[in-house]
Amino acid sequence: MKSLGIVGAGQLGVMMILEGRKLNIEFSVIGSDPQAPASRIADKFYHDKEYREFVDHCDIITPEFEHVDRQILEYAEKQGKLFPDTKSLDLKLERHREKLYLRDIGIPVVDFYVAENASAALSMSEKFDESIIKTSKGGYDGKGQFHAKKGDSAELPGDQVYVVEKFIPFDFEASIIVARTKDGRIFFNQPSYNYNQDGILLYNYAPCDDYGMREKASILVEKLNYVGVMGIEFFIKDGKSIVNEFAPRVHNSGHHTLSGSTISQFEQHIRCLLDLPMHEPGLLTHSGIINVLGREIDDSLAGRILSVPGTLLYNYGKKALPRRKVGHVNVTASSNQELLSRLLEVKRIIYPERV
């Protein structure tokens, strides 16, 4: 029996474990909380300080999130067990490094500047009529982002490195899930339309036209010599795709594959890591998801959600905090029109007033 170790114990780890059970794999999880979602269902749980025992026990190590204990990743990489590698993961620790790398390898991104402090960031933002100022460290799901217009006196949280991006009035946002095996074969899921609110994914649905997303995804995973699943987010403007950011792991925008595809992103990731046979994922039906943000999923809410045809509820078992992802709902339908109608019906149930 193969043993797969997951660094981190959140909902992505849970879904990876659930999708891998049918492959008869042992799952170990390392983290700080034995009651975290993935900790509760793993075969073995290790505290962070037990990282050597964790790595030595497992055949392969993979993180469920970029911002995890560095010493675990370094030790696993020295043993030849870490996928994806630290090169891919390190680019995500500081946003400016990710942006510079994408630009350096010829992938289109929005115009941007790197500022060493808050004063420089505000000065650079004046070069654009409208901009998004982002902290280089720690910003995700809309955190650490500030909208500025020329002449504004925006307040930034202290001196640190910032990325100042030109705001573009994009037509919509989209993403693609790409998988690359150890021998360099690349597979794509159907791209999805994404609807983000205040920088966090609210819902998405597939299929979506390509707009050049596959080509850009191929360049990125090839240049990184990447192994596993990656989620890449795009702005779509005038029929062309511009990379916003990538995630070196399974991704929220790929959860629709749990119900709508021949193979989920989680099983794809596992197969890539463990050298199991892979094939091009097929879309079985129109599918999407809606995130449950910041509210408890009690029996009443669960019942009302599941009364909508084509729904499947994932409750992460996390405490409800503002804007926190505590679950998601998979939704399937026979057409995009029917799918969007069902997604919006579920949205009204979860958020009767506002998100």
Q: How far apart are CA 84 and CA 94, in angstroms?
A: 17
Residue 280: the pLDDT is: 93
Query: Residues 26-55, buried b or exposed e (16+ Cβ, 10 A)?
Result: bbbbbbeeeebbbbebbebbbeeeebeebb
328 has which bridge partners?
291, 314
Residue 142: the pLDDT is: 67
Interior angle at CA 267, CA 250 and CA 25, nearest 5: 115
Q: How far apart are CA 248 and CA 177, in angstroms?
A: 10
Q: Where are the domains of the chain?
A: 3-82, 111-166, 172-350
Distances (CA, A) of 14 to 17, 203, 266: 5, 20, 10
Helix (H) or strand (E) holding 56: helix 51-57
What dotted CATH number matches 3-82?
3.40.50.20
Distances (CA, A) of 109 to 65, 112, 165, 229, 231: 23, 8, 9, 21, 16
Residue 151: the pLDDT is: 81
Contact 162, 172 (CB under 8 A): no
Residue 154: the pLDDT is: 75
State pTM to two decimals: 0.95
Domain made up of 172-350: CATH architecture: 2-Layer Sandwich (3.30)
Residue 140: the pLDDT is: 64
Q: What is the per-residue pLDDT across 227-279, written as a single tens digit (0 to 9) for each?
A: 999 999 999 999 999 999 999 999 999 999 999 999 999 999 999 999 999 99
Q: What are φ and ψ of residue 2, in 5° steps?
A: -75, 150
Q: What is the mean pLDDT of each run of 10 residues along the chain (355 residues)?
A: 96 97 96 96 97 98 93 97 96 95 97 94 93 84 81 81 95 98 97 94 97 98 98 98 97 97 98 96 97 97 98 96 96 97 98 88
Contact 281, 186 (CB under 8 A): no
Residue 141: the pLDDT is: 65
Domain made up of 111-166: CATH architecture: 2-Layer Sandwich (3.30)
Q: Where are the beta strands (DSSP E) in the chain?
A: 3-7, 26-31, 44-47, 60-63, 112-115, 130-135, 145-149, 162-166, 172-180, 186-188, 192-197, 200-206, 228-237, 240-247, 286-293, 311-315, 325-333
Parallel, antiparallel or unpaired: strands 192-197 and 240-247 = unpaired
Residue 27: the pLDDT is: 98
- 81, 84, 86, 87 alpha-carbon torsion, rounded to 10°: 140
Residue type, 119: S
Residue 199: the pLDDT is: 86
Contact 308, 342 (CB under 8 A): yes
